[in-house]
Amino acid sequence: MVYKRPLKCLRIVMANLVTVFVVMGIIVSGFRIGADGLNMNYYLFSCPFVESIVKDIVNRALEDDPSLAAPLLRMHFHDCFIQGCDGSILIDSTKGNKAEKDSPANLSLRGYEIIDDIKEELERQCPGVVSCADILALAARDAVFFAGGPVYDIPKGRKDGTRSKIEDTINLPSPNFNASDLIKMFAQHGFSAQEMVALSGAHTIGVARCSSFKNRLTKVDPNLNSEFAKTLSRTCSAMPYLKQIYDLFLNSTLFHQDWYRLFGYLAYVGYASLKNPYGQNPWSLGKNPIEEKEYINHA
C-alpha cells in the first residue's frame, strides 16, 4: 500500500529539478558517502538532540509494529543506491513528474510516516536544520539496533536532493540478478565484490516475497537445493498470492548477528557463481559452504 499522506519532510515543487550528486565513501552502514562536509558533530550546536529525537520516535514506532524495522533499512538502501543518500525516495510524484517512490520496485516500501513524524518533531525543536537524508540514515541505523543489530556512528551533513524520477530506479538491483549481475551493478557504484556481498547478500532482517523467486520453483531450478526448493514451494503455495512471503530466519523482526556465517556462505555462492555462469548453488554440490574455509577466506 502506497503511503499517501503528504510528506512534511520533502514538500518540494518539482518544476525546476536540480540534480544532486552525493559522492559516496564507505561507512559501517554500508553506503558510500562523501567525506566533504560530513562529520559526526555536524548538528552539535544547531540541533544537539537530533539523534535522541530520532531514536525515541523510531523506538516508539517499532514497539507498536516491530515489522517496520526492515522497511526502514530497505528505504535507506533504495534511497542511497539512486544518486546517493539524498532523500529522493521521499519525494512525492507531481502532475509532470513520476517520482522514485512510485516505481514498482518501491511500491512495497513502508515507514514513510515514521520519517514524517521525526521531521515534524525536529522542525519544532530546530526548524530548517536537519536534512531528510540524515533523518533517513539515522532512522535506519536505530531500526537495526532496535531489532538486535549493532549500533554504529553516522557522519551527518547530507543535503536533500530535488531530483526524483521513476526511470532512475532501473538502477536498483533486481531480485532476479545472479552473482555476476550483482557484482557488475555494484561495481558501477564503486563497490568491490566483497562489499557487494556485505551489502546485498545476507538479508539479516526482514522477509522475501515469493514472487521474487517463484519462477525458480515452477520448474525447479537444478541449481537450487532440492530440500530448500520443497520448503519454498510448500510455504509459498500455502497463502494468498499477494501475501506470499518467505521468512528465511523464522523471525523477520530480529537482526541476525551471526552474519559472519552468512557472509562466508554468500562469498562461497558468489565465488561459485563466477566460476559457473548459472550460479550453481554449493549446497547442490554436496558441500557445506559455511565449513569450506577456502571459500570463506574469499570474503
> Residues annotated in the binding site for heme b, as ranges?
203
Q: Which three cell numbers stand for residue 133?
A: 537524508
The catalytic residues are: 78
- The cell 518544476 sits on which residue? 15
- The cell 559455511 sits on which residue? 290
Q: Tell me the binding residues for substrate.
A: 173
Q: Tell me the binding residues for Ca(2+).
A: 79, 84, 86, 88, 100, 204
Q: Residue 245: beta bridge partners? A: 209
Q: How far apart are the C-alpha atoms of 89 and 87, rounded to whole Å?
A: 5
Q: Are 3 and 72 in contact (CB under 8 A)?
A: no
Q: Tell me the binding residues.
A: 79, 84, 86, 88, 100, 173, 203-204
E strand or H helix that includes residue 275 = helix 259-275
- Measure the CA dihedral 161/163/164/165, to 10°: -160
E strand or H helix that includes residue 246 = strand 245-246
Q: How far apart are the C-alpha atoms of 166 and 289, rounded to whole Å?
A: 39
Percent composition of the chain: helix, strand, coil (DSSP 3-state, to 5): 45, 5, 50
Q: Are 198 and 188 in contact (CB under 8 A)?
A: no
